[in-house]
Structure 1
Amino acid sequence: MKKFGTLSITIFLMVIISCKDSGKKERFLPPSTGGINSLMVVMDSELWKGGIGDKIREHFAAPVLGLPQGEPKFTITQIPPQIFKGAITYSRSVLFVEQDTLSRAHIKTDVYAKPQKIAVIKGETYNDLAGNIDSLAGRAIASFKRVEINEAQRRFTRSLTKEKAFEEEFGISLNVPSLYKVGKHEKNFVWMDIQIPKGTMNIVAYAMPWNSFANDSTFVSDIVKMRDSIGKKYVPGPYEKTFMITEKAFSPYIFPAQIGGKKAAEARGVWEISGYPMAGPFITYIINDKENNRKLVLEGFTFAPSEEKRDYMFELEAILRTVKFNQGS
């Protein structure tokens, strides 16, 4: 009887250890696929051609703010549900819309691949589906954008520049692809750029006094004045007395932002050359760097005449969002 008891205890301990060893294991997921800013929309083709499709396009193919010409937030590919299988399910950003007695609107993470975001919208009637699209669209777009930014950053971090101009001048680090080169480095100003097929992509950085932009009522006009003064001093046009300014016809769009762990303002708009027909989009971050008693300004701008500029600007945003403030800077 004693031997039986000892054997029982031994088996019991082995079962416990076995249970611990066979704990929940992470499921293998293949890497997700797709071009940057591409969105796979999975829904019935008849729904896509009708009002529900219009509602989706209204949100997910809306023009990106701050570009000279209208370009959609996402490049959309629509397929019917029966086609959504195999390698197609590895798409990084997916919107799944289905007519169903169950009314739902939620976002799933890493279902078929990794990283992946799938927004699921279900409803029985047109009003159900349309209402769920309206309620989820903002969160879904933000979720898709985050995963796309992360993917863009992952791609360009394969080969980063060894230039130290930003670190030397401002005590910051940026993950800048190695093809970007320093074009100008002066006191309180750094400019890096890269040649693209029909123009350039550019990153600039400079600092403003901490008490800049103290008046909320003049915030937008103060940003314009700042950009114009910096452009006049550092960003010349093709001829003498020409330089970069903010487009006069339209004020930039302003949004709150969080960059490098600090509060910031994001400005998007169009630049032009004073006295010369050149223009393009810009994105500017004005970062509250209280520790260094300054407003740090990071900006990306593109010159690419007759070319679509959404993805160029998206890459610049992805680069600027990698900023880190070095300790003691």
Structure 2
Amino acid sequence: MNKTAILFLSVVVIFFSCSKKKEDSSRHSTGKINAISIVIDNQLWNGVVGDSIRNKFASPVEGLPKEEPIFDINQYPANVMEGFVTKSRVIIVVKKGAENRFSVQKNQYATPQNVFHITGKSVSALLELIEKNTPDIIQRIRKGELAAHQELLKDSLVISKTIQKQFQLDLKVPKSYSFSIKNNNFVWLKREFASGSSSILVTQFPISNVNLEANVLNQIVKIQDSIGAEYIKGQDSSSNMYVDVSYPLYLLKTTLNDKLTYVTKGTWRLKDSFMFGPFISYLIVDSKKSKITYLVGFCYVPSKDKRDFMHELESVLKEVRIN
């Protein structure tokens, strides 16, 4: 074969490879929220490598009263890495190979998509790579799944003019929510459905109400309990919402809108009642305006798993924009 023919074939191969890659990445990814596809041979999946993956990616979600996995895992052997599997929004490919390597490829087969490749020379190498990279993988997946949930909701979201005017912040709330309580410094938005309800609370108060140098978590519990005592009650007026500290509480210090923010997850309960469920709160410190914005999302769905309801609330609250 002459050089011209070889060059022509090379160009054709490159052209079709690029076209195939472009075609793949233009496909829209699919999959339920918080579901991931694990592509791994059955032998590895049924051994210690599979145990490690399950322990890490199906570990309990923080802040729920009953254990639910962070992600729903779907396992596929390597020989089915085609078709619907490649359209998954999150794919983790684990295999033995000639080198130890971890890489992340964005939109490899569809968009949006994260494909994580973990290759190890041996089982021990795979375990080491999984251990080392799991925090980064989970962080990337969580970020992507929140974005996916926001995209799923986008057609139903509207900026609440009431909240915008009252609190000088933009909060896009699903149209299915309506005001349960609305006064000068507090609003309660609620969505009722057949199996329960989801709620969003918004309030503001002076920054002097919180001592950021002291135990912030204890102060957040007191703030939440005071809101419950005043506004969130059962059929009996003496039955109010409070934070059930017999369940674990989780506190994360972060930034939102470039402002110091404390995120708390835990369990609420209605006094003298069987009603309880998870909540997530955002205490956002605005030093320039000397005020604190406090947002809460909570749900009551006694007959269902609560992870995805709370994930929806988190995806809404995290998009708040303080003006």
TM-score between the two structures when normalised by the length of structure 1: 0.88
Q: Do the aligned partners of 2:159 and 2:172 also contact (CA within 8 Å) in 1?
A: no
* 1:149-206 CA-partner distances (Å, limit 9, x unpaired): 1111011111223642211211111121111111111121111111132110000011
**Contact 2:251–2:264 under 8 Å retained in 1:** yes
Q: Residues 80-99 of structure 1, C-alpha deviation per residue, up to 9 Å, x if partnerless?
A: 11101023201101111011
What is the aligned residue count? Answer: 303
Which among 143, 148, 172 is matched to residue 146 of structure 1? 143
Alignment partner of 1:27 is 2:22: yes
Residues 212-268 of structure 1, C-alpha deviation per residue, up to 9 Å, x if partnerless?
332544222111111101110111122121110000313521012232332211100
Q: What is residue 243 of structure 1 aligned with on the other side?
A: 240
Map of 1:65-104 to 2, 5 A cutoff? 65-104=62-101
Instruction: Answer whether contact 1:255 1:266 (CA < 8 A) is retained.
Output: yes
- Report what 1:278 is aligned to: 275
C-alpha separation in 1, matches of 2:248 and 2:306 = 19
SS of residue in 2 equivalent to 1:176 = strand
Structure 1 range deviating more: 254-263 or 87-96: 254-263
Q: Which residue type is aligned with residue 74 of structure 1?
A: F
| C-alpha separation in 1, matches of 2:276 and 2:190 | 16
Q: Would you say 1:291 and 2:284 are equivalent positions?
A: no
Asked if the contact 2:263/2:283 (under 8 Å) is kept, the reply is yes
How much does 1:31 deviate?
A: 0.7
Provide the residue aligned with 1:203 in structure 2. 200
**Change beyond 3 A, Cα 1:251–1:209:** farther
1:190 to 187, 190, 207: 187
Q: After alignment, is 145-154 or 286-295 more displaced?
A: 286-295
Task: Give distance in 1, aligned partners of 2:44 and 2:193.
Answer: 40
| Cα separation, 1, equivalents of 2:71 and 2:247 | 24
Matches within 5 A, 1:1-329: 27-28=22-23, 29-161=26-158, 163-326=160-323
What amino acid is aligned across from residue 123 of structure 1 in structure 2?
A: G
Rg larger in structure: 1
Amino acid in the other structure paired with 1:94? I
Alpha-carbon distance between aligned partners in 1 of 2:301 and 2:235, rounded to the nearest angstrom: 15
**Structure 2, unpaired ranges of 5+:** 1-17
Name 1:5's counterpart in structure 2: none
Task: Assess if the C-alpha contact under 8 Å between 1:260 and 1:321 holds in 2.
Answer: no
Quote the Cα distance in structure 2 between the aligned partners of 1:278 and 1:53: 38
Contact 2:118 2:126 in 1 (8 A): yes
1:172/1:323 contact within 8 Å kept: yes
Give distance in 1, aligned partners of 2:159 and 2:210: 34
Preserved CA contact (<8 Å) 1:63 1:70: yes
One-letter amino acid of the counterpart of residue 237, structure 2: E
**Partner Cα distance (2:85, 2:130) in 1:** 23
**1 CA distance for matches of 2:210 and 2:53?**
38
Distance between the aligned counterparts of 2:289 and 2:154, measured in 1?
28
CA distance in 1, matches of 2:240, 2:81: 51
Equivalent position amino acid for 1:146 in 2: K
Deviation string 1:92-130 (CA, Å, 9 cap, x unpaired) is 011110111210122211111111011111112221001
Task: Name the amino acid aligned to 1:188.
Answer: N
Query: TM-score, normalization: structure 2?
Result: 0.90
**Range with greater deviation from structure 2 (205-214 or 151-160):** 205-214
Deviation at 1:283, TM superposition (A): 0.3
Deviates more, 1:32-41 or 1:204-213: 204-213
Q: Bigger CA drift: 147-156 or 245-254?
A: 245-254
Q: Larger deviation: 24-33 or 103-112? A: 24-33
Cα distance in 1 between the residues matched to 2:152 and 2:232: 29
Structure 2 CA distance for aligned equivalents of residues 294 and 251 of structure 1: 28
Consecutive aligned runs of 4 or more in structure 1 exceeding 4 Å deviation: none
Q: Is the 8 A contact 2:150 2:316 kept in 1?
A: yes
